Amino acid sequence: MIMTEQALFREAMSHVGAAVSIITTDGEAGRAGMTVSAVCSVTDTPPTLLVCINRNSRSHQTFVQNGVICVNVLNTTHQELSGLFASKADQETRFAHTTWHTGKTGAPVLEDSVVSFDCTIDSISEIGTHSVLFCKVKDITIKADCKALVYFRREYHALGAA
């Protein structure tokens, strides 16, 4: 079977393990959240992350217009929540299934995430189908006593100390 370039790339990327996060926002454009794995550090001076969001996503414009984002790295108890935030469920349903508090930027922070990065969106670059958001970290919450949820070869796995 011959794979398209896109299919081959997606297959190859499934072999690169990634933390699973729910990104959230709130503000004048409304509240939104979605599951992502395309998050990485850029620099620690100033602390900055990059987050990639498909421009065809229903939540894309909400993040861009609000200008704030919280990256909530999921723990192993969040597998079902990850699926919910990746589904077609409405935003109200997504946020009703766990406990949130409001971060310094106004974005929703997941109470029991492994780590949450509360950020402002500093700049946005467009590449292909996605927007790359460069996010300046304004606050960090760490919960060190839980295992992280990672995605590898299209399956969830636990990572961390027993």
Question: Could you tell me if residue 5 is inside a domain?
Answer: no
Residue 8 domain-assigned? Answer: no
User: Which band of pLDDT confidence, cut at 50, 70 and 90, is reported for residue 10?
Assistant: confident
pLDDT by residue (tens digit) across 101-141? Answer: 999 999 999 999 999 999 999 999 999 999 999 999 999 99
Report if residue 32 sits inside a domain.
Answer: yes
pLDDT given at position 89: 95
Do residues 32 and 62 make contact, with C-beta atoms less than 8 angstroms apart? yes
Q: Does 152 fall in a domain?
A: yes
Q: What is the mean pLDDT of residues 75-90?
A: 96
Q: What is the pLDDT of residue 3?
A: 82
- What CATH number has the domain bearing residue 135? 2.30.110.10
> Which contiguous run of DSSP H or E holds residue 103?
none
Q: Would you say 118 and 70 are in contact if contact means Cβ atoms under 8 Å apart?
A: yes
Residue scoring higher pLDDT (8 or 71) = 71
C-beta neighbour count of 120 within 10 angstroms: 16
Please indicate, yes or no, if residue 153 is contained in any of the structural domains: yes
Q: Does residue 92 lie in a domain region?
A: yes
- 55 falls within a domain: yes
Task: Decide if 22 contacts 31 (C-beta within 8 A).
Answer: no
pTM of the model: 0.94
In a domain, residue 101? The reply is yes
The total number of structural domains that make up the chain: 1
Distance CA 60, CA 129 (A): 12
Task: Dump pLDDT digits (tens) for 14-68.
Answer: 887 889 999 999 999 999 999 999 999 999 999 999 999 999 999 999 999 999 9
Q: What is the residue range of 94's domain?
A: 19-159
